[in-house]
Copies of this chain bind each other. A is one copy, B any other.
């Protein structure tokens, strides 16, 4: 397998984007990535698009071809493939693009993610997202995503003594980072009180423990490392990309506080990248809910189970801490257009490693992404490093 590099990245602003359409969101992100990589469309050989549910959000399937077409790439008849694993769809797109370049099937490949969530009402959005869980055993019984993660949070707090304030600190930290990210949906710092006094969604999770409903798209372009400098002076190397599955239903897990797919994907990507936990300068993790960020830090092996709340409280995961987590603002503050999130994470890591993260810049050589589908039935992790 060949070494692979990211040679261009693009990301739309995330938010409630009433003035644009599903297809135009992608075109905007793809155009930014082409511009960033000094590429023209006719150099693109293949596309992978992560998207969870355009079928229900905008009544459009066949998303890969649609997107190749509206990006002006259909005339070259290039292959374009949609991949889906709920909120990990973007991560899957990145991994498949990586495999395609690494294998030699193609040289210049786009990995993108897009979701337009705000064209339907809140009730339908909740129902569409519930399709990421087990419809026949969870959704049908009324389980929503806040409800499922609330069960994790309840057991976790009871078992490990996590305080409500420690949990809220995840949101406070991520909003502080989001304030510094020009693409973030919420660019406003909050206090512990903002979280603690917000509406109760599913006990113990409150509104500010939950990632928002978001429109957005992101795209990154991959090429063989040996060709990377044809396109950019600042290629970023993909050291590894791994994926793991677990049971679709939360109640079938060995332990609902540990995402076994995170453990497996984490171990695999560290082995693939030949780096250790201590080499990682920062992580973009999947904080769909505050509790999810704490589980991620632990299940990836950065601290022992039950300790991530304390680390957060002590500032270890803050931008100026020793292990910054979610410098982009995470899903919580940057927003969570489900199919786009996994690619936005890669976008953030690349911008950081290139030294282009402006007010939120971290000095690091290696960064990592962690993207979760459902309550952890799919996890994709990638590690990227400066060349």
Using CB atoms and an 8 Å cutoff, list the residues of chain A in contact with chain B.
Answer: 1, 21, 23, 52-53, 55-56, 58-66, 68-70, 73-74, 77-86, 92, 95-96, 99-100, 102-105, 127-128, 131-136, 139, 242-249, 252, 260-261, 264-265, 373-374, 377-378
Contacts and interface: CB of A to CB of B under 8 A. Distances in A.
Contacts of A245: 64-65, 68-69, 73-74, 77-80
A131 B62 contact: yes
Contacts of A374: 62, 65
Contacts of A81: 83, 85, 92, 96, 243
B63 A84 contact: yes
A131 B68 contact: no
A69 B264 contact: no
B102 A102 contact: no
Given A59-B127, A99-B100, 6 more contacts: A53-B61, A59-B135, A68-B245, A69-B249, A77-B265, A80-B245
Given A53-B55, A83-B81, A92-B81, A65 B100 contact: no
Interface centre among A21, A64, A249, A252, by most chain B C-beta atoms within 10 angstroms, is: A64
A131 to B, nearest CB: 4
Given A62-B86, A105-B99, A245-B64, A378 B132 contact: no
A61 B86 contact: yes
Max chain B Cβ within 10 angstroms of own Cβ: one of A55, A79, A134, A378:
A79
Most chain B CB neighbours (cut-off 10 Å) among A83, A128, A264, A265: A83
B252 A69 contact: yes
22 contacts: A1-B104, A21-B136, A56-B56, A58-B135, A61-B86, A61-B132, A62-B86, A62-B131, A62-B374, A66-B248, A69-B252, A70-B248, A74-B247, A74-B248, A74-B377, A77-B244, A77-B261, A77-B265, A79-B244, A81-B243, A82-B85, A84-B84
A52 to B, nearest CB: 6
Given A77-B246, A92-B81, A261-B77, A66 B377 contact: yes
Nearest to A253: B74
Contacts of A100: 99
A61 B70 CA distance: 25
Contacts of A373: 62, 65
Contacts of A23: 136
Contact of A84 (B21, B62, B103): B62
A59 B139 contact: yes
A261 B62 CA distance: 14
A59 B378 CA distance: 18
A378 B244 CA distance: 28
Contact of A1 (B79, B80, B103, B127): B103
Contacts of A252: 69
Contacts of A244: 77-79
A62 B132 contact: yes
Given A102-B103, A102-B105, A248 B135 contact: no
A136 B62 CA distance: 13
A52 B61 contact: yes
